[in-house]
Structure 1
Amino acid sequence: MQRPGPSLRFSPLVASALVLAAAGPVGAQHTPEVTEAGLARGEMFYQAHCGRCHGMLGQGGEGPNLARPTLPRAPDHGSLVRVIRRGIPGTGMPGTRSNLVSDLEVDLIAAYVRTLAQDAVVEVAGDAARGQEVFAAGGDCYSCHVVDGRGTGVGPELTGIGLRRGVEYLYAALQTPESELPVSRRGILRGFRGYLPIRAVTREGRVITGMRVNEDAFTIQLRSISGRTVSLRKEDLVELEKQFDHSLMPAVEEMTGADIDDLVAFLADLGEGS
């Protein structure tokens, strides 16, 4: 006598997995056909893993805007899956660990992200061409930042910043720089350690400020805003303050609202043509 087999009940996640399996292998170059339930799951996974940086609607924040017809680093589904899984070295985009985010979840996230282009793209109010003039003259930003080989590399290079940061982040970074300092997640602060502000006071009462370039148990090297590097012996200091919640970048308090709009438009446009 044969016993009847158990009835099969599929959750939305399992149903989505079946659709993806039928559509092809995970990470395939084409965009898989995903059910509405699958996209809902993708949205949920996106908000859990990606929304903090890219915004809950994908319109940018600490990370770039994803609601655009083409993502320069991920023009198709397969490349987007690889970016989500592996991250982008040298940027704030970390990879995903397979024991925390499954291949199915990555595939659903990628499928959901590719639907964001259907939504309205964030419009920048300013004029990018005029913003470049503000960057060069009114803001004197080339004195600290490099863009396309021009400028001084005291602060972070801004070439391609439009691909790494969203519009809201750029506004906040200009108006209140200390509010948008890079945060530490899985060690992605590595590239920003040289920009930690330091205030040192010598035994003679000399106050030295700058960004940390290097440090060991006995010495610390700073780079001043002028670009000069200073090496100090810790035994010669009476005070050594590491200002983790401070930025050496001045707020653009003297700029008009139109100047800030134009400057943001220029920065948001950097990297769009690459």
Structure 2
Amino acid sequence: MDETIGLFAGEGDLSVEIARRLFERGRPPLVFSFGEKTAPLEKWALEVTRIERPALGELLGKLRSRGIKNLVLAGFVPKSLIFRPDLLDDDLRGILSSLPFRDDHSLLGAIVSFFESRGVTVLPYRDIIPELLAPRGTIAGRQPLPGEEEDILYGLRIASALVPMSFGQTIVVRGRSVVAVEAMEGTDETIKRAGSISGGGVVVKLMRPDQDERYDVPVVGTKTLLKMREAGIPCLAVEAGRTIVLGGDLFRERAKQWDMAVTGVVPAPSS
């Protein structure tokens, strides 16, 4: 009999999709939800436990008490929590104090090491939803216009230089000029800020080349398209094979309805 999988579920639709796929395989997960809305998860979960704060020791204790040895980490957790030590437990505060740099790559890698050094294997969720990885070429909507193609190529150059430093996973480019770069605020807020500056242009989204694919694989979905529409940005380029596209038919319908171009790209290898 397959062992039960634990799922730490942050905000967003990714955790729900993972829970659904596990359920369909006959392995409904034991969900520990950090998001406020647990109802979408309850349909697919063996059980849902609400986690009020990012307490690693508490989560580890719950996993051990249920005999859970495999864990998936998925969904959005605000990184700004690192500035609220009162909400963190001793284990997470200890990790933060030990890190020379607190970028996503270092912090998430240390969290994975925390669990794995204590006997809990962190599983790569991309293996659960491989068909949702972006293909190369047109994903939804129309093809990019010539000017958008130029901005995509320029954006790939800039993003490829930034992501190894663990920021700039999303950038917005217009007229071969960088309008906005994602830092701690997240993709949606980056798009919103770009819209207030320029409107138009393209959103380019890449993953760090050496990113551990057990966590933090870039995700886009229908909400991403809505934020782009509100910002007046009609083109989205994501890294093929390394970006998860959520929303299925609705994503494709919205891209067509709103005359958007969504394309999968492969950055040139670094020299």
The TM-score with structure 2 as length reference comes to: 0.30
The TM-score with structure 1 as length reference comes to: 0.30
More strand by share: 2
Larger Rg: 1
